[in-house]
């Protein structure tokens, strides 16, 4: 059985008489340890898929499974536990707590988990051991995103979900963040899922899921994904 399974997942939004199918019978699977990119234009339904998989939103129809557990059938309480223990999130705008240091931001996440990693060690693995005691406002955008990745990793989650993780960064910094995420996947055997509108990133993924108008347009598997250093855009 695949690690992540989406089977005919539907999500509808109702606006007056209009119904928007943000997710329209979305079906795909992702294997454990894969680096997966979900790509599509703005409004295609990428974030909807990521939020449903992350337990931040629920679907109206269909089946969602992670590591054999049915996420789509969870109660609110089960979803809270699931978000807390099983999922690491990385967002476009970092979402750090501004009045806590970088290390404290990571500790905050590790404190709520069952089997966290050591926060200081995780900070070292994202090459921020020198900046642990700085506040977010004292860090560059790239460094803040490293803290956000450390915070997600310190929970020792089953999957790392990243929504446009380089959207607020310049080209070079964005590349270093993508390299870090690719390294997390390869070296820590994490299942990493990235949502992006940037088609150019797809050669670095093991699996590429293209989404258009709420539906899966195509799924490709790259037998030989490229290191991000070899990709230009
Ligand atoms: N809470 C909501 N209420 C109504 N419509 C929504 C809501 N959330 C999303 N939608 C609609 O669902 C569709 C898919 O949105 P979604 O945010 O998943 O797309 P996306 O591919 O992530 O876009 P972007 O790259 O711009 O973030 C869009 O048409 C959007 O307007």
pLDDT per residue as tens digits for the range 89-117: 999 999 999 999 999 999 999 999 889 99
Q: What one-character-per-residue DSSP string does 130-186 give? A: GGTTS-GGGS-HHHHHHHHHHHHHHT--SEEEEESTTTTS-HHHHHHHHHHHHHHHH
| CA–CA gap between residue 193 and residue 164 (Å, rounded) | 10
Nearest residue CA, atom 28 of ligand 1?
A: 43
Q: How far is the CA of 43 from the centre of ligand 1 (A)?
A: 5
Mutate to test the pocket of ligand 1, among 22, 44, 163 (most ligand atoms within 8 A of CB): 22
Nearest residue CA, atom 4 of ligand 1?
A: 13
pLDDT at 117: 94
Percent of the chain with pLDDT over 70: 100
Q: What is the mean pLDDT of residues 111-125?
A: 93
pLDDT at 26: 98
C-beta neighbour count of 112 within 10 angstroms:
11
pLDDT per residue as tens digits for the range 173-187: 999 999 999 999 999
Mutate to test the pocket of ligand 1, among 6, 46, 59 (most ligand atoms within 8 A of CB): 46
Percent of the chain with pLDDT over 90: 97
| CA–CA gap between residue 22 and residue 74 (Å, rounded) | 21
pLDDT per residue as tens digits for the range 142-179: 999 999 999 999 999 999 999 999 999 999 999 999 99
Q: What is the mean pLDDT of residues 47-56?
A: 97
The mean predicted confidence, pLDDT, of the chain is: 96
Tokens 């606006």 — which residue? 15
pLDDT at 51: 97
pLDDT at 226: 96
Q: How far is the CA of 148 from the centre of ligand 1 (A)?
A: 23
pLDDT at 175: 94
SS3 (DSSP) at 85: helix
Mutate to test the pocket of ligand 1, among 18, 20, 24, 162 (most ligand atoms within 8 A of CB): 20
pLDDT at 50: 97
Q: pLDDT grade, residue 20 (50/70/90)?
A: very high
Q: Which residues line ligand 1 (CB under 6 A)?
A: 13, 20, 22, 40, 42-48, 197
The answer to whether the beta carbons of residues 217 and 62 sit under 8 Å apart is no
pLDDT at 10: 98
CA-15 nearest atom, ligand 1: 4
Q: How far is the CA of 183 from the centre of ligand 1 (A)?
A: 30
Q: How far is the CA of 21 from the centre of ligand 1 (A)?
A: 9
Q: How far is the CA of 61 from the centre of ligand 1 (A)?
A: 17
Count of alpha carbons within 13 angstroms of residue 190, beta-carbon side: 27
Q: pLDDT grade, residue 195 (50/70/90)?
A: very high
Q: Give the domains, in start order, of the chain with CATH numbers.
A: 1-86+159-233 (3.40.50.300), 94-157 (no CATH)
CA-45 nearest atom, ligand 1: 18
ipTM of the complex: 0.96
């Amino acid at each position: 059985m695949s690690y992540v399974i989406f089977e005919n997942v539907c999500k509808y939004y109702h606006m007056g008489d209009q119904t928007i199918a943000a997710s329209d019978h979305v079906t795909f699977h992702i294997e454990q340890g894969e680096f997966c990119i979900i790509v599509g234009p703005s409004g295609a339904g990428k974030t909807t898929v990521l939020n449903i998989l992350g337990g931040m939103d629920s679907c109206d129809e269909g089946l969602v499974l992670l590591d054999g557990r049915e996420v789509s059938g969870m109660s609110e309480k089960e979803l809270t536990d699931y978000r807390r223990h099983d999922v690491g999130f990385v967002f476009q705008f970092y979402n750090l707590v501004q009045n806590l240091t970088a290390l404290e931001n990571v500790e905050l996440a590790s404190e709520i988990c069952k089997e966290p990693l050591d926060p200081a060690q995780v900070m070292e693995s994202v090459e921020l051991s020198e900046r642990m005691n700085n506040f977010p406002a004292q860090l560059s955008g790239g460094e803040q995103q490293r803290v956000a990745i450390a915070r997600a990793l310190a929970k020792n989650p089953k999957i790392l979900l990243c929504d446009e993780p380089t959207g607020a960064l310049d080209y070079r910094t964005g590349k270093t963040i993508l390299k870090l995420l690719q390294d997390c996947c390869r070296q820590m055997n994490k299942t990493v899922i990235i949502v992006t509108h940037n088609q150019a990133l797809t050669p670095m993924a093991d699996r590429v899921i293209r989404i258009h108008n709420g539906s899966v347009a195509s799924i490709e598997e790259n037998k030989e994904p490229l290191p991000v250093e070899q990709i230009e855009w």
